[in-house]
Structure 1
Amino acid sequence: MRGSVVICFLLIAALATSTAAQTDKGAYYKALASDEEKTIDKVLASLEAEKATPRVNAYKGVLTMKKAGFVKGVGGKLKTFKKGVHLLEEQIKGNPANTEFRFLRLTIQEHAPGILKYNNELHEDKQAIVSGYSRLDADLREVISDYAKDSKVLKESDLK
């Protein structure tokens, strides 16, 4: 009896964790689309509390790069941006076929100021997104499709 209670508890905990991870993914993309420092800080703090995984580190990297826009002073902005670049690039290096990571990098490259020279992989990332798009889950396909509506690099027609 006690063993079945423990197993039942573990199953509930596993379900709650997987649901929380989905919620965090949604919260992450909302924060990425947001222009509110408070929203970005809140999601970054929740990511810091999570177990480090390639996805969590990629999300932290991108949000850290976005956070750089709120940092005072050019030196602080650059340092924060580079910290985010390092986190994301490490995840892409370790998972080069991960379409989501390529999408994350494309979004930053497309909007980063030219002076940062963080735009050398736009074409390569676009191709990775186009070729991997059909294998993504429906929620992520929707996020990418919505992004493509306003993107100068990635077009909705590329995804069909």
Structure 2
Amino acid sequence: MRNIMMILLLVTGGIFAQEKELSEARSQYSRAVESEAAAKRLLKISEANAFTNPVMMGYKAAGHMMMAKHVGNPFKKMSHFNKGKEILGSAIAADKDNLELRFLRFAVQAEAPGFLGYRDNLEEDKRLLLNGVGKIKDAVLQKMIINYLKTSKGLTSAEKEKLD
């Protein structure tokens, strides 16, 4: 009985820690566009669980892509962007139906300069997000996605109106 209690404590403690890290990753993600420090913090937070959690892997990818905005050297920009693109592709391959991962990719593809040629999944991800955002049970995640979609260059005015 004592062993079972210890296992339950370890499991619930681990789940709580992962939820806290995910919450922190989401918070830093929202700030990383404007803040290099937030992008670095996002990378640090996501590193710990990126190997076992596809969503954290997605935030690691987003951190690299955000760092591309903050570094001056063009080679470092491309290196960060391409590394993030590769990691995000692997994360989505591991959990292709995850709307949070699709949101991360949609946001990057909608905002990335056209010359990068990274827009292959824009319409597919947009369709999945528009059809699924109302079904997301995590209220914080749902709000984060809806708020982004309402301001996104990747949606038409009519699509944005349907989000209200």
Short-chain TM bin? 0.7 to 0.9
Structure 2 unaligned segments of length 5 or more: list them. Answer: none
1:152 aligns with 2:153: yes
What is the match of residue 38 of structure 1? Answer: 37
Structure 1 unaligned segments of length 5 or more: list them. Answer: none
The 1:12/1:140 distance shift into structure 2, 3 A limit, reads closer
Amino acid at match of 1:138: A
| Deviation of 1:8 (Å) | 6.9
Supply the distance in 2 between the matched residues of 1:96 and 1:103 (Cα, whole angstroms).
Answer: 12
Amino acid at match of 1:42: R
CA contact (8 A) 1:109 1:119 kept: yes
What is the match of residue 74 of structure 1? Answer: 74
% identical equivalent positions: 30
Partner secondary structure for residue 17 of structure 1: helix
Supply the distance in 2 between the matched residues of 1:44 and 1:118 (Cα, whole angstroms).
Answer: 21
**CA distances 1:63-119 after superposition (whole Å, capped 9, x unpaired):** 111111122321121111000000001122232222211111111111111111112
TM-score with structure 1 setting the length: 0.83
Runs of 4+ in 1 over 4 A off after TM superposition: 1-5
What is the match of residue 114 of structure 1? Answer: 114
| Deviation of 1:15 (Å) | 5.7
Supply the distance in 2 between the matched residues of 1:97 and 1:6 (Cα, whole angstroms).
Answer: 34
The 1:18/1:89 distance shift into structure 2, 3 A limit, reads closer
Amino acid at match of 1:13: G
Supply the distance in 1 between the matched residues of 2:11 and 2:87 (Cα, whole angstroms).
Answer: 32
CA contact (8 A) 1:61 1:84 kept: yes
Q: Size of the alignment, in residue pairs?
A: 159
Amino acid at match of 1:48: E
Supply the distance in 2 between the matched residues of 1:30 and 1:67 (Cα, whole angstroms).
Answer: 13
Supply the distance in 2 between the matched residues of 1:105 and 1:92 (Cα, whole angstroms).
Answer: 9
Map 1:120-135 → 2, pairs under 5 A: 120-135=120-135
Supply the distance in 2 between the matched residues of 1:39 and 1:49 (Cα, whole angstroms).
Answer: 16
CA contact (8 A) 1:106 1:126 kept: yes
What is the match of residue 138 of structure 1? Answer: 139
Amino acid at match of 1:73: N
What is the match of residue 26 of structure 1? Answer: 26
Amino acid at match of 2:101: F
